[in-house]
Amino acid sequence: MQKRKLGNSDLEVSALGLGCMGMSFSYGPAGDRQEMIALLRAAVERGVTFFDTAEVYGPYTNEDLLGEALEPFRGQVVIATKFGFNLDPNYDPRGVAGQPGLDSRPENIRRVAEASLKRLRVEAIDLFYQHRVDPNVPIEEVAGAVRDLIQAGKVKHFGLSEASPQTIRRAHAVQPLAALQSEYSLWTRSVETEILPVLEDLGIGLVPYSPLGRGFLTGKMDEATTFDAKDFRNSLPRFTPEARRANQALVELLKGIATQKGASPAQIALAWLLAQKPWIVPIPGTRKLGRLEENLGATEVELSPEDLREIGVAAQAIPVAGSRYPEHLEALTGR
């Protein structure tokens, strides 16, 4: 497996990481624990060294899963986790029913760090992201709290998720960022205009989540596909049957290129992302060994500059139907 460094940091990871949320949360019932442990360990055996989780995934159960699965590989793998929500049902500063409230107060950051260390069974958190920017807490206070944890040896690297260019610069001035995690794929390219230039300027890596469009870019679903009642894609505007029908044009583009290259649509989508910048490390998620191996095969797909130009231009010409999130969740991004 090829390795990449996240920006100017010394954080070196496998060129593709593994997003672990779906093993416990959001995509229907949680996967069988022993099967997920086996899959996580199979990923390590295949060269994956970068694993992504969060306190809120489950909540708590995903961190606990990774702690058990990856304990034998301590020191060989990088585990990223996140803070920024308060899971107390009585705490909801936004007043949105059923949603955990944002909470990046320094005391909560310290509390989450201590609890995450125990669940992950590590002595230091490799990469600690603010999950979403909290408008009630100045980003300088957030960065300062993480800086203190780094100085105390409890955290190694700081990251943000779905933050604006201004917020990135303000945070980086207090505690240098190793990575920004944001959605980026052939059907979500908003980071290209303002975010990528800032990351390049400051030497910060990018970790794209949902690099396969929550499964849509694999070509394995269409407008007739149904999801489990607990699958959060049921609530996403981009996954209505009408939107999926309209967005099928992008999948057809990927299928055509995949046929030419002897690859799968998912591999083309990931190879395209990997080719954008040497400091981009996508984290596709899966519960299946076959899909994991398919995704990892993207690192062997070669796309020429002409291929990349054609894919980019063709994809840009296809309008994507439906927003990424419902309105109340979309409001949490780009702050």
**pLDDT tens-place string over residues 152-191:** 999 999 999 999 999 999 999 999 999 999 999 999 999 9
pLDDT at residue 99 in the model:
72
- Is residue 168 domain-resident? yes
274, part of any domain? yes
Catalytic positions are: 57
Number of domains in the chain: 1
Q: Please choose, from the candidates 250, 253, 265, the residue with its C-alpha nearest in 3D space to the C-alpha of residue 220.
A: 265
Condensed to tens digits (0 to 9), the pLDDT of residues 279-319 reads 999 999 999 999 999 999 999 999 999 999 999 999 999 99
Cα 198 from Cα 258, distance rounded (Å): 32
**Alpha carbon distance 40, 32 (integer Å):** 12
Percent of the chain, pLDDT > 90?
Answer: 94
pLDDT of residue 90: 79
> Which two three-digit tokens encode residue 17?
């990481």
Mean pLDDT of the chain: 96
CA distance 295 to 291: 6
Q: Are strands 101-102 and 177-183 parallel, antiparallel or unpaired?
A: unpaired
- Residue 335 lies inside a defined structural domain of this protein: no
The CATH number for 170's domain is: 3.20.20.100
Asked whether residue 190 is assigned to any structural domain, the reply reads yes
Instruction: Please tell me the predicted confidence (pLDDT) of residue 100.
Output: 84
Contact 158, 175 (CB under 8 A): yes
Res 95: pLDDT: 45
Mean pLDDT by 10 residues, the chain (335 residues): 96 98 96 98 98 97 98 97 90 66 96 98 98 96 98 98 98 98 97 98 98 97 95 96 96 96 98 98 98 98 94 93 92 92
Containing structural domain, residue 20: 3-330
Phi and psi at residue 286, to the nearest 5°:
-165, 165
Give 29: exposed, middle or buried? Use CB within 10 Å, 0-12, 13-18, 19+.
Answer: exposed
